[in-house]
Structure 1
Amino acid sequence: MDTKTQLNDAMKEAMRAKDKVAKRTLTMVRAAIQQSEKDRRAELDETAVLAILQKELKSRQETITEATKAGRDDLVADTEEEILILKKYLPEAMPAEELRALAEEVIAELGASALTDMGNVMKVLIPRVAGRAPGGDISKTVRELLEG
């Protein structure tokens, strides 16, 4: 079952269970997906849906940071609950060792040897990782490997 279908089913379940946090979270994610589909004028594939989920997750992690600084413990608790809901629909995070091995494989395939090749490596590597690792981690790993 694809992620969009899972989100729709979970939304119905949250409404039946009267789970306000889950309903609110899933509504926002579905709205982001629908908006992206409208903007592109096309149905999103699984990779694009996972990218939206990652973006929503990152947004909530930033919210926790800001709410903690402001002393808003109530907002932190709600946002942590939203993060747990979002993580249910994301694939298992890729271990750093696996990411490094995949990056080394792509670098070898392309014959990349300098930092100037980083864009080409990222272009090939990101679709292979497909939402299982944050972009910052991918970039950091590739940079370390290319720098030596």
Structure 2
Amino acid sequence: MSLTDQLMTDMKVAMKSHDKTSLSVIRLLKSALMNKKIEVGHDLTTDEENQVVVSQMKQQKDSLADFEKGGRADLVAATKEQMTVLEQYMPQQLSESELQQIVQKIATDIGAESKTDFGKLMKAVMAEVHGQADGSLVSKVVKDSLQEG
């Protein structure tokens, strides 16, 4: 079942159960997917759909950080609820140990050994794990691997 089909099914369930949070998140995600489809000019691939979901989650995390800084407990709670709903549609995330293995393999393949190779290694790893790991976690693992070497 495609993500769009899953969203339609989940939207019907949310409507019937009067779950306003789920309904608003699903509508937001459907809208973002439709905008991306229009932008690229073709039906979205699974990778493209996952990129949209990851992007939406990143926006929610950024909003959460802003609301926490501003002391807006009401918006923090609402954003956390929305993130919980959005997590259902996120691609399977890699564990830190799985990510470390990928980083080590790519570092060996491209010959990244020092901190000056950070950008090159980071770019290669992000291309490999697109959507399966948070960028801040990837950055941390890449930095750690280059310090060890």
Q: TM-score range by the shorter chain?
A: 0.7 to 0.9
Instruction: Name structure 2 gaps, 5 residues minimum.
Output: none
Separation (CA, whole Å) in 2 of partners of 1:32 and 1:81: 19
Unaligned runs of 5+ in 1: none
Q: What is the identity, as a one-letter code, of the residue corresponding to 2:128?
A: R
Deviation at 1:122, TM superposition (A): 4.0
Which AA in structure 2 matches 1:140? K
Match of 1:109 in 2: 109
Residue correspondence of structure 1 range 24-39 to structure 2 within 5 A: 24-39=24-39
Corresponding residue SS for 1:144: helix
Q: Distance in 1 between matches of 2:12 and 2:118?
A: 43
Shift of 1:30: 1.0
Partner of 1:51: 51
Bigger mean CA deviation after superposition, 24-33 or 135-144 = 135-144
Instruction: Look up the match of 1:64.
Output: 64
Q: CA RMSD in A?
A: 2.1
TM-score (norm 2): 0.83
TM-score for both structures, normalised by structure 1: 0.84
Deviations 1:92-115 (A, max 9, x none): 432111101111112222333345
State how far apart, in whole Å, the 2-side matches of 1:33 and 1:98 are.
29
Question: Is 65-74 or 92-101 further displaced after alignment?
Answer: 65-74
Partner residue, 2:81: 81
Query: Tell me, what secondary structure is at the counterpart of 1:113?
Result: coil
Q: Percent identity?
A: 28
Q: Paired residues, what number?
A: 148
The one-letter code of the counterpart of 1:90 is: M
| 1:9 matched residue in structure 2 | 9
